[in-house]
Structures are given as structure tokens and as C-alpha cells.
């Protein structure tokens, strides 16, 4: 799906902070939204990794994809979002890290279903290639799982989604975008009842870059 002509993908600017916080408040009503101070820190540590989808007629940011570089050998595959992002500060950004970690991607409800999330993800993959990184790793919510969690193990749910036998609103979209599932984990996000607090670790591997010595997610 191509990006509509009235949108563009660019880096985040300080003038975006206020509207990004408001979008975050709407998209994640049960979580504390990013503050201007946190967004400024993201921008300071890794400006080229903070992407915005802009609605050109209004000049407003309407979607974001935030990333940082990490060395996965310094973490465990089951580590939650808070650990991988240093409590959302991105203070653990490692300029030498071979993995781009997709910390967050969201789009204003008023601008969804226009291919913006896909375009934002393409921008991050372009960054992986441009910086000669091995891969990109993220965590996929499983908002369809909460409704069936009482009678279906998370691992089986994820297997069914990967096989195409079941549709999950988020994971199925990631799979369509070319991500691969590594494994399901519990507690990735602390307040996600729709997913019964489960998520799937996902990755996209850069075919042009060989893996580093610590290539195994552990």
C-alpha cells in the first residue's frame, strides 16, 4: 500500500512533542503518555531513529515510530519493554549495537487505515540497511488473545496466527509486513489486558548484513 500524497515520513522535530503526547494519550488510554522531556531525550540520543508520519495539509505529526540501537546479548529475550528502553527514556541506546529495537509505533485513530504504520516501518528498515545493522527487533501485542486466553495457551495462539488459521489485529499485520516471530513472552507490557499481558518477540533480518557473534536471541 503506497503512502497517500497528503502524507510524508520524516524525522521527529521538537515542535512535534506536544501533539505526539496527545496522540499517545488517545492510543494508550491506560498508560502515561510520553512527556516532552522524554521525547527530547529520544531525539538527543538517536535523532535519526525517531520517525514521524506528517499530515502535510495540517503540518501535524499523526503517527510515530521510535527506535534505538541495542546489543541484544546484553538482555534476555523475555525482558519487558521497560528494561529494553530504560523505562522509556532510551538511555540504554548503544551506538555500536547491531540491532535496531522498535520501541513504539502508533498512529492517530483519525489517520489510521492509510498505510502510515507500514510506511513508518519501511523507514525504520531503510535505517537498518543504511547503518548496516543486522536486524530489527520488536514486540508485537496480541490484542486478540485476551478473549481466548482462558482456554488456549499463548504459544498455540501465536502458532495459529503464524499459520494463518487465526487473525490477530496486530500480529497478523506484522507478519504481512515481513516480520518473523521469535517466541511469545509474558509481561512485555505491564498493562495490556487485551493481550492478557502476552506479546510476541518479532524480528526482521537485514539480508545484506551478516550476523554479529552474539546473533542468538537468548
Mean pLDDT over each residue of the chain, to the nearest integer:
94
Q: What angle do CA 66, 195, 156 make, to 5 degrees?
A: 115
Residue 157, pLDDT > 80, answer: yes
Q: What is the pLDDT of residues 32-82, one digit of tens each?
A: 899 999 999 999 999 999 999 999 999 999 999 999 999 988 999 899 999
Q: What are the DSSP E strand ranges found in 34-154?
A: 50-55, 60-70, 99-107, 135-141
Residue 218, pLDDT > 50, answer: no
Q: Please, what is the angle between helix 36-45 and helix 17-27, to 10°? A: 110
2 falls within a domain? no
218 falls within a domain? no
Q: What is the pLDDT of residues 84-134, one digit of tens each?
A: 999 999 999 999 999 999 999 999 999 999 999 999 999 999 999 999 999
Neighbouring-strand partners of residue 50: 66
Neighbouring-strand partners of residue 99: 70, 135
What SS3 state is found at 218? coil
210 falls within a domain? no
Residue 171, pLDDT > 90, answer: yes
179 falls within a domain? yes
132 falls within a domain? yes
Give pLDDT, residue 60: 97
pLDDT band at 214 (very low <50, low <70, confident <90, very high): low
Give the range of the structural domain holding residue 137, as residue numbers without chain letter. 7-205
pLDDT band at 29 (very low <50, low <70, confident <90, very high): confident
CA distance 154 to 195: 9
Give pLDDT, residue 215: 61
90 falls within a domain? yes
CATH number at residue 178: 3.40.630.30
Identify the residue with better confidence: 214 or 188: 188
Give pLDDT, residue 213: 67
Q: What are the DSSP E strand ranges found in 71-126?
A: 99-107
Q: Is 200 exposed, middle or buried (0-12, 13-18, 19+ CB in 10 A)?
A: buried
Q: What angle do CA 129, 133, 136 make, to 5 degrees?
A: 90
In total, the chain counts a number of residues equal to 218
Q: Is 217 exposed, middle or buried (0-12, 13-18, 19+ CB in 10 A)?
A: middle
Q: How many domains does the chain have?
A: 1
Q: Is 65 exposed, middle or buried (0-12, 13-18, 19+ CB in 10 A)?
A: buried
1 falls within a domain? no
216 falls within a domain? no
41-50, 141-150, 205-214: the lowest-pLDDT one: 205-214
Q: What angle do CA 23, 33, 179 make, to 5 degrees?
A: 70
Backbone angles phi and psi of 98, in degrees to 5:
-85, 0
What SS3 state is found at 116? helix
Amino acid at each position: 500500500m503506497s503512502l497517500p500524497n497528503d502524507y510524508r515520513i520524516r524525522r521527529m522535530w521538537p515542535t512535534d512533542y506536544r501533539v505526539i503526547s496527545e496522540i499517545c494519550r488517545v492510543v494508550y488510554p491506560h498508560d502515561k503518555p510520553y512527556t516532552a522531556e522524554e521525547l527530547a531525550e529520544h531525539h538527543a540520543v538517536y535523532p535519526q531513529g525517531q520517525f514521524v508520519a506528517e499530515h502535510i495539509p495540517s503540518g501535524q505529526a499523526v503517527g510515530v515510530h521510535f527506535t534505538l540501537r541495542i546489543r541484544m546479548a546484553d538482555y534476555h529475550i523475555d525482558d519487558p519493554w521497560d528494561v529494553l528502553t530504560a523505562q522509556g527514556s532510551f538511555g540504554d541506546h548503544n551506538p555500536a549495537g547491531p540491532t535496531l529495537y522498535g520501541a513504539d509505533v502508533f498512529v492517530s485513530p483519525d489517520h489510521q487505515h492509510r498505510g502510515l504504520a507500514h510506511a513508518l516501518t519501511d523507514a525504520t528498515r531503510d535505517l537498518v540497511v543504511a547503518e548496516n545493522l543486522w536486524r530489527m527487533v520488536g514486540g508485537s501485542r496480541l490484542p486478540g488473545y485476551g478473549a481466548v486466553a482462558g482456554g488456549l495457551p499463548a504459544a498455540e495462539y501465536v502458532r495459529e496466527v503464524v499459520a494463518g488459521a487465526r487473525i490477530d489485529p496486530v500480529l497478523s499485520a506484522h507478519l504481512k509486513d515481513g516480520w518473523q516471530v521469535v517466541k511469545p513472552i509474558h509481561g512485555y507490557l505491564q498493562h495490556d489486558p487485551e493481550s492478557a499481558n502476552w506479546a510476541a518477540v518479532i524480528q526482521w533480518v537485514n539480508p545484506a548484513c551478516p550476523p554479529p557473534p552474539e546473533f542468538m536471541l537468548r
